[in-house]
Amino acid sequence: MDAELRTLAGWGRTAPSTARVVVPRTVQEVIDALRSADERGVIARGLGRAYGDPAQNAGGLVIDMTGLDRIHSIDVETATVDTAAGVSLDTLMRRLLPFGLWLPVLPGTRQVSVGGAIGADIHGKAHHVEGSFCDHVESMDLVTADGQIHTLTPDDDLFWATAGGMGLTGVVVRAKLKLNRVETAYFKVDTEQIDNLDELMARQSVDDDKYLESVSWFDTTATGKHLGRGILTRANHATLDDLPRKLRASPLKFDAPQLLTIPNIFPPGLLNKLTARAFCELWYRKSPTRHGAIQNITMFLHPLDILGEWNRAYGPRGFLQYQYVIPFGQEEAVKRSVRMMVERGHVSLLNVLKRFGEGNRSPLSFPEPGWTLAVDLPVRRGLAELCAELDELVLTAGGRLYLAKESRTTPEAIERMYPRIDEWRKVRADVDPTGIFVSDMARRLRLT
């Protein structure tokens, strides 16, 4: 199995580094790759949708897991799927939906591998009901530093150290997932246009338990009494009876083509106050209050998947996604963070505000009860200073940043945000005593 020298970056395109990359096609080739690692170590990589640098390893080895792309079996009776770790959620959905089966947890894109979903313990708009991805993993096969394959279940500490562990405990090569059942591939959606952030958060705090999916978009250009105005969108799976007659003939049909790929031609500064204000005004006006609309999966969950390589639109300097969770009761900190961005002129178009439910046993899993806010901020002068102030705001409020989105904070901040990190380090050290598994993020944040 030959290695190829490649320059890799996260989805934010901010900190590329060069590594040797191998693409194994079997579990044995994964084991062989581990044995070929040198003193710079090794990390696994899926589809590259982490925003920062957790799937990069400058000067070392990166195992591209997309070669392990087989779905081993689908059990309709027990509603489970046994799959290799390199399979994408997009592929899984296309295979599962004809059987009326549904992945309980989906992020904002389907272009994530199963192994990546486990390593980041991803969440979606249904966290307040369904929890995060690893809450639905029955078992996983993990190749550890000694080349051994361990089948882990939620009874194992190593299972929970791997969940959210950003690939630093070993290489996930296979997983068995628990699924939900659905009647259709559509959602019944309620949309509310809300005039300011106070009202948006108040409304989102009411009746969320009646909806499987809940999310709001907010405006980062509006000021004064309209600060944080937004669109609250909540939905449940549509039943067969909910569908209009023309959709009932093929209720589980899932057709989500990629319409175009964004070219790599955009200059820096294309997203600025003027263009952002125009976009936010259009986005706000196009979504009036409406109840009971039927929307397909892409329209409701994954509109950005219509555009390939959409991150190129931010230009060559790239962007960072800043995502935090702040406990309930700290709503003023959420509002202050939005005011800080607006006042400093750091505009974002893709802005998300959600409510999380209970977290799980993983020491490094991101979700915990509270408000989670995410914004995509183009890299420009003053951004580092803004993010440092936001970090302190989040810390003071008892919150944390998401490692799958993080690209620039300090080791000290992460230590304070994740109080169980030493518990995770102990489990990791037991299975990787020489520190074979390492990444650019692990070095930057001194995780290992």
DSSP string of 133-185? GGGGEEEEEEE-TTS-EEEE-TTSHHHHHHTTSTT-S-EEEEEEEE-EE-S-S
pLDDT range class, residue 260, cuts 50, 70, 90: confident
Residues recorded for the chain: 448
CA distance 54 to 293: 39
pLDDT at 126: 98
Domain boundaries in the chain?
Answer: 4-66, 68-182
Q: Write the DSSP symbol of residue 432.
A: -
pLDDT range class, residue 309, cuts 50, 70, 90: very high
Mean pLDDT calculated for residue range 412-439: 98
User: Is residue 73's pLDDT more than 90?
Assistant: yes
pLDDT range class, residue 268, cuts 50, 70, 90: confident
Pairing of strands 17-22, 61-64: parallel
Inter-axis angle of helices 331-344 and 383-396, nearest 10 = 170
CA distance 156 to 150: 11
Tens digit of each residue's pLDDT (9 = 90 or more) over 370-379: 999 999 999 9
Angle in degrees, CA 140, 146, 152, rounded to 5: 20
Beta bridge pairs of residue 260: 307
pLDDT at 158: 98
pLDDT at 6: 98
Higher pLDDT, 307 or 100: 100
Residues with Cβ within 8 Å of residue 202, at least 6 apart in sequence: none
Mean pLDDT calculated for residue range 378-385: 95
DSSP string of 383-421? HHHHHHHHHHHHHHTT-EE-TTT--S--HHHHHHH-TTH
Query: What is the distance of C-alpha 121 from the center of its chain?
Result: 8
As a dihedral over the C-alpha atoms of residue 146, residue 151, residue 156, residue 158, rounded to 10 degrees, the angle is 30
Question: Contact 252/185 with Cβ under 8 angstroms?
Answer: yes
What does CATH list as the number for 68-182? 3.30.465.10
CA distance 291 to 370: 26
User: Is residue 184's pLDDT more than 90?
Assistant: yes
Inter-axis angle of helices 331-344 and 197-204, nearest 10 = 140
CA distance 57 to 182: 40
pLDDT at 271: 80
Residues with Cβ within 8 Å of residue 393, at least 6 apart in sequence: 333, 336, 337, 340
CA distance 25 to 32: 11
pLDDT range class, residue 361, cuts 50, 70, 90: very high
pLDDT-above-90 percentage for the chain: 93
Buried b (16+ CB within 10 A) or exposed e, 11-25: bbbbbebebbbbbbe
Question: Contact 348/386 with Cβ under 8 angstroms?
Answer: no
Using DSSP's 3-state secondary structure scheme, residue 333 falls into helix
Element (H, E) at 33: helix 27-35
Tens digit of each residue's pLDDT (9 = 90 or more) over 142-157: 999 999 999 999 999 9
pLDDT at 201: 97
The edge-to-edge listing of strands for the beta sheet with 370-378 is 290-296, 186-194, 230-237, 213-218, 352-356, 370-378, 319-326, 400-401
